[in-house]
Amino acid sequence: MPSQNGNGGRGGPWGTGGKPDSDIEGLVRQGQDRLKQIMPGGPRGAIAVAVLALAGLAAWTAYFTVPSDSVAVVQRFGKYLKDVPPGLHFKLPLGIDAATIVPVKRQLKQEFGFGTPGATDPYQTSRNAKRETQMVTGDLNAALVEWVVQYRISDPVKFLFDVREPRGTLRDVSESVMREVVGDRTVDEVITIGRQEIEAEALTKMQALSTKYAMGISIDQVQLKNINPPEPVQASFNEVNQAQQEKEKLINEARRDYNKVIPLAEGEKDQRIREADGYRLKRINEAEGDVARFNALLSEYIKAPVVTRRRIYIETLQDVMPGIRSKIIVDEQTRSILPLLNLDSQKGERP
């Protein structure tokens, strides 16, 4: 049966007359003309442009820069190749080599129970602050604990390849260790006197687990932040805490007064004891000196009793007479009382 469109059986859905085919051919010719205008050399020009673009892309991806606080781990087709230090380096382009920057000299941190606004590390801030802070102590009390873990990447190869999510694993390890350490102590120790012990023990256990899991992470510090009781009992706990602080204040004041009075009394006691010892030594030495003087005098008296007796008498008078204000010397031959009459006392008196 002959075709009705008179076009050799190439009719289409648009009807007869051959117009659709001519429109398509016109569009193709327009496209070829535009391509010739863009690429005057035809297909060879297109190939040249593609080669130049590929060369530019290869040059662009052939170098990379490592910051001063980092190293780069280079992989070739996904396999570990080497570590490169800070500076400008080159690698095989077009995705053959891939360089991953790892900040090994930078101190990183993870926060538990709170979050720093604008943190770029998704594992730094808390995912569920309220759940992380709620802990049970060893005496079955509840406490809200906030802490910070500061760490460094010590082995970039282990950090990238041995553990799938080392930062997330570290976060889980830190929370597990902190719950274990807090669960071994009473609520009073956790909130008041046991903070340093908790930090030291948590640091040791976190580092041990990080080494065991080969995460390539070194824990620098574990620091407790705010530790509070649950909100329903927080007011009562604050009152108890204030009472304990007042108690410590009074104890310190009493110790201050004690240190002020007792050392003074002990000093006075030591002074009295030293004075008594000095007086005792003085009296002993004086007595011994008197004994030695008497013995020396006795030996001289035995040798010449009359002369010694006379000398002792004269020396005694020399010591006694200067202290006597009025002196009366009476002759042994005198028998009358008149020489003893004190006429000086009658001067100036009237009968």
Mean pLDDT of 101-118: 90
Structure confidence at residue 235 (pLDDT): 82
Q: How far apart are CA 178 and CA 204, in angstroms?
A: 11
Of 47-51, 104-108, 319-323, give the lowest mean pLDDT range: 47-51
Name residue, tokens 């053959």.
Answer: 96
Helix, coil or strand: residue 202: helix
Structure confidence at residue 160 (pLDDT): 94
> For residue 308, what pLDDT band results from cuts at 50, 70 and 90?
confident
Mean pLDDT of 106-119: 88
Q: What is the mean pLDDT of the chain?
A: 82
Mean pLDDT of 314-327: 81
Task: For residue 340, give the DSSP letter.
Answer: G
Taking the chain, what is the end-to-end CA distance rounded to the nearest angstrom? 201
Residue spans of alpha helices (H) in the chain: 19-38, 43-60, 129-133, 156-161, 166-183, 187-188, 195-212, 231-303, 305-320
The pLDDT tens digits for 3-17 are 334 343 334 444 444
State the chain's maximal CA–CA distance in angstroms: 208
Give me the half-sphere count of Cα atoms (radius 13 Å) on the Cβ side of residue 250. Answer: 5
The pLDDT tens digits for 142-188 are 899 999 999 999 999 999 999 989 999 999 999 999 999 999 999 88
The share of the chain scoring above pLDDT 70, in percent, equals: 78
Q: Which residues contact 327 (CB under 8 A, 6 or more apart)?
A: 321
The pLDDT tens digits for 257-303 are 988 888 888 889 999 999 999 999 999 999 999 999 888 888 888 88
> How far apart, in Å, are the Cα atoms of 123 and each of 119, 151, 269?
9, 13, 67
Mean pLDDT of 106-115: 91
**Type and span of the H or E element at 84:** strand 79-84
Torsion of Cα atoms, 129 then 132 then 138 then 142, to 10°: 30
**Two tokens at 233?**
């009992």
- For the beta carbon of residue 16, count every other beta carbon within 10 angstroms: 12
Name residue, tokens 């006691």.
Answer: 269
Selected residue with higher pLDDT from 152 and 193: 152
**Two tokens at 305?**
């009793």
Q: How far apart are CA 27 and CA 271, in angstroms?
A: 123
The pLDDT tens digits for 19-39 are 445 676 776 667 666 656 655
Residues 217 and 210 sit within 8 Å (Cβ to Cβ): yes
Selected residue with higher pLDDT from 345 and 116: 116
The pTM score is: 0.56
Q: Which residues contact 303 (CB under 8 A, 6 or more apart)?
A: none
Domain range 108-229, CATH class:
alpha beta
Structure confidence at residue 44 (pLDDT): 63
Give me the half-sphere count of Cα atoms (radius 13 Å) on the Cβ side of residue 216. Answer: 17
Q: Which residues contact 104 (CB under 8 A, 6 or more apart)?
A: 69, 70, 71, 152, 153, 154, 156
Q: Above 60 in pLDDT, residue 347?
A: no
